[in-house]
Amino acid sequence: MKIVALKEYKLRYPVQEKFANSSSWNTSRSAQVVEVVTDNGITGWGEGSGELKGGSAERHVIGRSPFDTETIWQDLFENGESPRAISGVDIALWDILGKALEKPVWQLLGGKVRDRIPAYASGLFYKDREDVTRALVEEARGYVDQGFRAIKMKVGFGEAYDVKNVAAVREAIGPDVLFAVDANCGYDVGTAIDVGLKMAESDLFWYEEPIVPDDVEGYLEIKRALPMRIAGAEALAGRRAFRRLIQDRALDIVQPDISIAGGFTECRKVATMADVNRVRVLPHMWGGHIRLAATAHWQATIPDWPQVLNPIPSLFEYDMTENGLRTELAKNPIRAVDGDVPVPDAPGLGIEIDREVLERYAV
């Protein structure tokens, strides 16, 4: 089996109602989709988060065996391709391997440790609303009503907004729902600690990206000052970018994104590094349906630790915001049921891409 074609599609989906995290407004969603075709007619799909450089990628992919996942990754990287772009190629190769061997990707990765991944509803963004607190409370209650036992809310908008709204949402969801917050690098160290201490009264499971990911010493200061777990690193690309945050134990939870960090091949290495250093891995997921499926296969294989009767759950980031690239792109989408994401059992990624939708959103 040889690779005969490599195609890229840049997709864009305009959202109906814009929403913001601490750093920017979202008016559209995007996805960088890769299609890899083999000489026996198998097509693999991947999603990255950056474009390949024209010409050079084809030279290192076409004519190769799709089983050469490691050497293709290294050849692309050494020839200047970014891990963000390589992610899409790598995910497509694993999709091909699964389809060729008639096995789901999680089985090629060594087997799954769970059939369903407990999910957290990732939403509660800032929107232009008259009564923001009331809107957040209603949104949070809706997630609990849908069966989610964990939710995440956006913070980083200043102490007054964060402390008041986090307390209101905690009050609305009750004490038993696991509650995390995400500041999207919105603070400096001092502010992150000050606001974090006040939000801690709302019993937070983790505090995500209080500061920028390259400030390892800052993360260590925050981690020592605050009682809740500190999470981050969703935007890091390539295994070596994670080295200090993991080895210095600057995070309690590391959140690699399979379409940014470098696909299955690279994320397995990040997970091993985290395991050796006793840092919890909870993948980040924000994108189209191929990214969602790939994340489910990878996350299905990450063992619980400590392996006890009642382990801390591996939580899937289930994006609740509007994105047709996530909800329309697969003919057989993976959907949360009663707050859990079922792990697909069909060969490869286990999803069928709707080419009409692909063309509709291609730019």
CB of 317 to Mg ion, least distance (A): 8
CA dist., res. 353 & res. 332, Å (int)? 8
Bond prior to 256 in cis (omega within 30° of 0): no
Q: Per this entry, what is the length of the chain?
A: 363
CA dist., res. 34 & res. 12, Å (int)? 14
155/177 with CB nearer Mg ion = 155
Cβ contact 47:209 at 8 Å: no
CB of 22 to Mg ion, least distance (A): 10
Cβ contact 257:286 at 8 Å: yes
125/264 with CB nearer Mg ion = 125
Q: Residues with catalytic annotation? A: 284
CB of 123 to Mg ion, least distance (A): 12
Q: Which of 281, 234, 242 is nearest to 259 (CA)?
A: 234
Cβ contact 312:261 at 8 Å: no
Query: Strand, helix or coil at 284?
Result: strand
Packing angle, helices 189-199 and 216-225, rounded to 10: 30
Task: State the residues that interact with Mg ion by CB under 5 A.
Answer: 182, 208
182/340 with CB nearer Mg ion = 182
CB of 286 to Mg ion, least distance (A): 7
75/208 with CB nearer Mg ion = 208
